[in-house]
Amino acid sequence: MSENPKIEKLRLDDDDGEFGARQQKPDDGKPATVYLAETFYITTKKNSQFEVKLTERGICLRKESNGSAKEQVIYMKDIIGCRCLRSKRKGQVGSPCACSSMPGPAQLKVVDEHSADLDESDVSAYLYIYAYILKKAGRRGRGSRRERTTLTLRFRSFDCYEDNNREAQKWRTAIKQLINGESPDLSPKLIEQRRMLILLNPKSGSGKAREVFQQRVAPMFAEAEIAYDLHVTKRAFFAREFVRTKDVYTWRGIVVVGGDGLFWEVINGLLERSDWQHALDQIPIGIIPCGSGNGLAKTIAHVYGEPYEPKPILGSTLTVLRGRSVPMDLVRVETRSEIMFSFLSVGWGLIADIDIESEPLRPIGPQRFTVWSLHRLISLRTYHGRISYALANCELSNHNSGVATNKLNALKHSISCNTALDCPECHGEGDCETCDTGFGDILSLETTSGTNSFRPRGDSWYSATSRRSTYFSASESVYQSINDKHSEPDSSFKYDKSTAQMFGPASTIPALTAPVPSTWKSEEGEFVLVHTAYQTHLGSDCFFAPHSKLNDGIIWLVIIRAGVSRSQLLSFLLGLSSGTHIPETKSPFIEIIPVTAFRFEPSGTQGNITVDGESVEYGPIQGEVFPGISRVMAPVFS
């Protein structure tokens, strides 16, 4: 190969049309449709070329160098978005642009194509493709995690920017459509999607939700080019009243940035609408965990095999960016004074005490539960009352107690933000000979330069929203309530129970004041803990109901009776983190029962009852499950 070869762009067969499709055999042997293909060169090596193909599976990179060829795929399920940019004019004075990379002598800065600072002498069009690649647990004990990758394709086959941009936009359009689960077509431009509604509680957890959103979440929304309206809650029940009164169909989905309490507000606000059924069916709800417990976010990650620790914000943000949703059960809860809907749990006794009494320790985050668990273990309480329940039509042995995961295809090799590969020998550690596959330097690829084949090639650079860049907000999105925390509350959003009416599905069990059906089982006595759950996790480190699914129509009832020893109780509390808290052999003191409805009737007036971790009136309470009536965002792939 000559030093400066003149290579024509790879075109699809004429019979297929300009945007036609050819068949390619992927690793699994099944044919994959090829929508676009192009030949690129690497910026640092002139004796290597890449054939890049866009298929329904992802972006296939085939490197040909010195007579050998190697392939790698960046899967579509790991790609969140792409942007078209232009190079920035050199020698600008002043503060750096928000979408520019960190300064460096050999780094090309980029700007939006409409920027006044663009370098008109560079007719190239740059396509940034953003991916968060799943890396499986390595031999050295590291857990699964996602690593950020930016693939840069430089289009410069033509001598004018318009022609190069047309090629880049063609790829951008096709990638966007595949991300949305659509088949690429010849549409001249993308159909703009509705915006996301983001509700943020600045006091969630340790009070850093606003900072987390601006520094970690907003840049990823910019990468995915998803616009949003951000509303920061001002008081309790702000979100509940907001979704009850606003036209929620303006948005494509609701994203909760906070804890389980804020998610509970949104669910109940939607169920206070007369069109509740349509709203729950059409508006999926996602959660980005910034609270103390974060049980729902951990459950979603656990059920679908998405890495949660050590970066729960990353995985949850990727989930809401994909916009996929699945059905989720809700439980209709009735007390003497109100009706509400629950998505997580109802508790009476030990865990309810820990939830409520540890509130003064909220600034320390999730550790508050551990500290107060030890305190309650030392000063153990029991509660007298009666519990009743309707058994579910299932057997506990039929449920798999192991970790539920979706069968994601593991990457054979993964490009990371530091260009390390997920080598099967060293798992990306770089300490073996086989990890030098030749794909570690493909972050920036380019086409030929048209008639001027001697045009200098640009060096690689960091992406516009990399963690090395200064980026805090997306200019195309709207922020509401973010600068007015000292303003007077808007009276129109003051929640008033007397004016709100709970709709939702009608109850199928007797009213709280009526006797339970004769088919129910009942037990009266002294209890340390009575707790129901319909998610696997009550908190990020509380694996309470290992057999639970998001949409199985089952409530898992855990009973701990008086007489349990402190050593047994300690074993129970320690086992909550791993899901081994229920004894393998039948115990007279600790039991887990699958039910479809329940009723708790405490004696006396002292104690705590919680619904989704929030305190409710102490007294009789009952609940029944309604399978799959809501939709929650989850990392599912079509």
Could you read off the pLDDT of 551-561 as tens digits, one per residue?
Answer: 999 999 999 99
- Residue 109 is predicted with a pLDDT of 78
In a shared domain, residues 18 and 91: yes
Same domain flag for 394 and 424: no
219 and 282, same domain (yes or no): yes
Q: What is the CATH number of the domain that holds 350?
A: 2.60.200.40
Given a contact cutoff of 8 angstroms between Cβ atoms, the answer to whether 208 and 290 are in contact is yes
CA 561 to chain centroid, in Å, comes to: 38
Rounded Cα distance, 38 and 635, in Å: 30
Handedness of CA 472, 473, 475, 481 (dihedral sign): negative
144-158, 178-192, 359-373, 468-482: the lowest-pLDDT one: 468-482
* Burial category of 299 from C-beta neighbours within 10 Å (exposed 0-12, middle 13-18, buried 19 and up): buried
The Cα 526–Cα 50 span in angstroms is 71
- Inter-axis angle of helices 350-357 and 367-378, nearest 10: 130
Average pLDDT value over all residues in the chain: 78
Q: What is the number of helices (H) and of strands (E) in the chain?
A: 11, 27
Same domain, 439 and 543: no
Question: What's the rounded Cα separation, in Å, for the pair 623 and 618?
Answer: 15
The CATH number for 271's domain is 3.40.50.10330
The C-alpha atoms of residue 3 and residue 45 are separated, in whole angstroms, by 10
Give the residue numbers marked as catalytic.
260
CB of 302 closer than 8 Å to CB of 403: yes
Cα–Cα distance for residue pair 330/63, rounded to 1 Å: 51
Instruction: Report the candidate in 16, 14, 19 with the shortest Cα–Cα distance to residue 183.
Output: 19
Higher pLDDT, residue 310 or 90: 310
Which residue's entry shows tokens 């009942």?
522
- Kindly state the tokens that stand for 493: 């959003």
Predicted pLDDT of residue 457: 31
For residue 617, being part of any structural domain is answered with yes
Q: Is residue 297 part of a domain?
A: yes
Shared-domain flag, residues 214 and 186: no
Structurally, the chain folds into a number of domains equal to 3
Peptide bond into 515 cis (omega under 30): no
Residues 178 and 259 in one domain: no
Residues 201, 101 share a domain: no
Q: Tell me how far apart the alpha carbons of residues 324 and 347 are, in angstroms, rounded to a whole number.
A: 31
What does the pLDDT read at residue 470? Answer: 25
- Mean per-residue pLDDT, 103-130: 76
Q: Based on the domain organization, do 394 and 536 belong to the same domain?
A: yes
**Selection from 137, 28, 155, 135 nearest residue 85 by Cα:** 155
Residues 510 and 560 reside in one and the same domain? yes
Q: Are 471 and 462 in contact (CB under 8 A)?
A: no
Same domain, 55 and 141: yes
Q: Say how many C-beta atoms besides its own lie within 10 A of residue 538's C-beta.
A: 28
* Largest separation between any pair of C-alpha atoms in the chain: 90
The residue behind tokens 């008081």 is 235
271-306 tens-digit pLDDT: 999 999 999 999 999 999 998 789 999 999 999 999
Which pLDDT score, from 0 to 100, does residue 206 have? 75
pLDDT in tens, 426-484: 444 433 433 333 344 445 777 765 544 333 333 222 333 333 322 223 334 555 443 33
Residues 362 and 506 in one domain: yes
- Residue 494 is predicted with a pLDDT of 64
Closest CA to 479 of 290, 216, 111, 213: 213
Pick the last residue of a domain from 437, 463, 493: 493
> Is 167 found in the same domain as 84?
yes
Type of residue at 393: N
- pLDDT tens digits, one per residue of 7-36: 233 322 233 333 344 444 445 556 788 999
411 domain residue, yes or no: no
Quick one: 612 exposed, middle or buried, by C-beta within 10 A (0-12, 13-18, 19+)? Answer: buried
Which pair of structure tokens corresponds to residue 265? Answer: 């507000």
Residue 137 sits in which domain range?
A: 14-191+418-446
| Pairing of β 609-611 and β 614-616 | antiparallel
